[in-house]
Amino acid sequence: MWRCTRPLGISLVVALLWALVPEAVAAELPRVRLITTGGTISNRPGDRLSPAELAASVPDLDELVEAETEEFTNVSSSSLTLEQWMHLSRRLNAVFADDQGLAGVVLTSGTDTLEELAYFLHLTVRHERPVVVVGSMRRPETLGYDGAANLRQAFRVAAAPGSRGRGVLVVLNDEINSAREVTKTDASHLQAFETRRYGALGVTARDRVVYYRGVERRHTATSEFDVDRIQRLPRVDIVMAYQGASGDLIRAAVDRGADGIVIAGAGAGVTSGGQRDAIAYAYETDVVVVIATRTGSGRIAPRRPTPEESGPNTSRRLRVSGEDLAPVKARVLLMLALTVTDEVDEIQRMFGEY
């Protein structure tokens, strides 16, 4: 009899401890806040899913994180204004400043302009904890709705300690990409977001979040751009180079008040003859011109002045190299750069660092 009482006592203790495990585990779950802006992920017929409904659609979410929800807005991504971009960045900065125990934020966005918004936040959210931008390619009522799966993976990434210090991340279809490098490469397929040339930062594997590389350029906590000091974002237009293009669109942008222009050049930044004359017109009116490439990948090296361009105003006549940024992202960086300086050499430094 004595031999039986000891194992029984141990069993009772183990059982009691095991009964307390779920509560202890729940208390240790990382807290992640879902902030919604709208987009296809919440666009059901007749109305839109609320943040709480989106969170409720994620299988086993309460086993992964302690989720909080907040609605910033609930519109299509194309309806977001630049003023709302700044308000959103300020809100994210405030959330991190006010809640030191928050592991990270999951942010929903429409996919059409997701890469632009994500890069803006990559440059203006000045904290190391992750902001994970997520969306879906299919609406909630359609067969194969990908929103719940993408949200589940985004929550996992936001909660993962390895996500800290990597800037703003974009998570769709089990891949993790940097906001700086990711681009939408398909209009309708589920595998619509990729990082050309460099590849994804990592993946959301079945057992854990796996990273394969880091982010080398400046971002978030090391950024010099402070949205609290910005009243408005300067106007920056994008003009594409193509065979036989006149410079009329460039001149029109200048005459209509553009502070900067991004040229989506052919190849390594080639423009037409008519566009070159119009770019010179932009220089004369102190409009900063950035040359990017329309190809989708590749780097444009900074251009040095010709002998004819040498002189006291050389820096003004230098085109700014867009480096390897897509034209839409070069526009985002140029808008922010112009809130700090209009010196071409300084703007070129920023394009080299961010």
DSSP-assigned beta bridge partners for residue 108: 134
Are 253 and 285 in contact by the 8 Å Cβ rule? The answer is no
User: Dihedral (C-alpha) 337, 266, 317, 349: value to the nearest 10 degrees?
Assistant: 40
Q: Which of 36, 37, 40, 220 is catalytic?
A: 40
Using a 10 angstrom Cβ sphere, with 0-12 exposed, 13-18 middle and 19 or more buried, the burial of residue 179 is buried
Q: d(Cα 262, Cα 271) in Å, to the nearest integer?
A: 12
Indicate the helix (H) or strand (E) that contains 182.
none
The Cα-based distances of 223 to 63, 78, 177, 220, 322 in angstroms read 35, 26, 19, 5, 18
40 is catalytic: yes
User: Is 340 strand, coil or helix?
Assistant: coil
Q: d(Cα 217, Cα 180) in Å, to the nearest integer?
A: 9
Q: Looking at the annotation, which residues are catalytic?
A: 40
